[in-house]
Amino acid sequence: MCCNCREIAYDCYMKHSNHIEKIAELSESEGVFTTAQAARMGIPRDALHDAVESGRLVRVVRGAYRMVGSGSSFTDELAAIWKLTAPATFSHERMRVSDWDGIAVGGSTASALLGIGDLQLSPYRLYAPRRINTRNPSASFARRAVGRDEVTFESGLPVTRSERTVFDLVADDEDLSLVADVLADASRKYRDFDYGKLRGLLEGRYGEKRGCEIFRSLIVCGSLKSNTLARPF
């Protein structure tokens, strides 16, 4: 082999090794990561393709990957869907209060992740302050504002807190008896559950009279009246 050929082969080998190292680094920090996040790390698309072909990466959904051996999770697809709403932004950047973009996991999916109620994780319910279109049949987006103080982080994802989750389930027209079950579980799991916040959210959307009626229906259906009358709301 000529010297020039050896140099080219060596350069290709070093680039390949460098890409593998960067993929591992990105996987360690992000878990599921996007093509755009990889590009920010200097990892080209063909390197991702090669890593999939060699069995180092698994394609979670179009444009999102997970490294083999990093530990798969039942939230991988959901994580990919959320990350693809801002594909070039790293998760830690989106978690900063100053950079909050208002896109959060909510409704039935939040209920399942928080372990309150008996609703299904999928189809994945997400809210955003702007219209988001997706071709993924597993994702369901609604245009709805969510404040940074209304989310907690579960499995690295912004998930609506219990009060906001109950409100969103009502707004999503879920069966009130099922929502009442979510409220009952939330009351038992979170001793600081803020009934006043929930009532305020309902009255803000439906008006004082109707909001109060829905609130009291949830309390009664969830058999919580005796437990909550002593609490200010």
Phi-psi region of 107 (alpha: psi -120 to 50; beta: other; left: phi over 0): left
Nearest CA among 46, 8, 49, 40 for reference residue 22:
40
Q: Between 17 and 178, name the one with better pLDDT.
A: 178
Confidence of residue 224 (pLDDT cuts 50, 70, 90): confident
Q: Which residue matches tokens 């409704």?
A: 107
d(CA 102, CA 152): 13
Q: Which residue matches tokens 């599921």?
A: 32
| Residues in Cβ contact with 98 at an 8 Å cutoff, skipping those fewer than 6 apart | none
pLDDT at 229: 43
- Four-CA torsion 75, 81, 86, 87, nearest 10 degrees: 90
Phi-psi region of 144 (alpha: psi -120 to 50; beta: other; left: phi over 0): beta
pLDDT at 71: 72
pLDDT at 5: 47
DSSP state for residue 149 in the 8-state scheme: G
d(CA 16, CA 98): 37
Confidence of residue 190 (pLDDT cuts 50, 70, 90): very high
Angle formed by the axes of helices 107-114 and 176-189, nearest 10° = 30
The pLDDT of residue 69 is above 90:
no
| Residues in Cβ contact with 47 at an 8 Å cutoff, skipping those fewer than 6 apart | 16, 19, 23, 38
Q: What is the side-by-side strand order in the sheet with 124-128?
A: 139-143, 124-128, 104-105, 157-160, 151-154
Q: Does domain 3-72 have CATH number 2.20.130?
A: no
Q: Between 186 and 14, name the one with better pLDDT.
A: 186
Nearest CA among 122, 113, 119, 230 for reference residue 180:
119
Specify the domain boundaries for CATH 1.10.10 within the chain: 3-72
pLDDT in tens, 29-57: 999 999 999 999 999 999 999 999 999 99
Q: What are the strands, taking DSSP E only, across the chain? A: 33-34, 57-61, 64-67, 104-105, 124-128, 139-143, 151-154, 157-160
pLDDT at 232: 46
- The percentage of residues in the chain with a pLDDT greater than 90, rounded to a whole number, is 82
pTM of the shown model: 0.87
Q: What mean pLDDT comes out for the span 153-170?
A: 96
pLDDT at 16: 52
d(CA 218, CA 231): 15
pLDDT at 1: 52
Instruction: Please list the residues that pair with 140 across neighbouring strands.
Output: 125
The pLDDT of residue 230 is above 80:
no
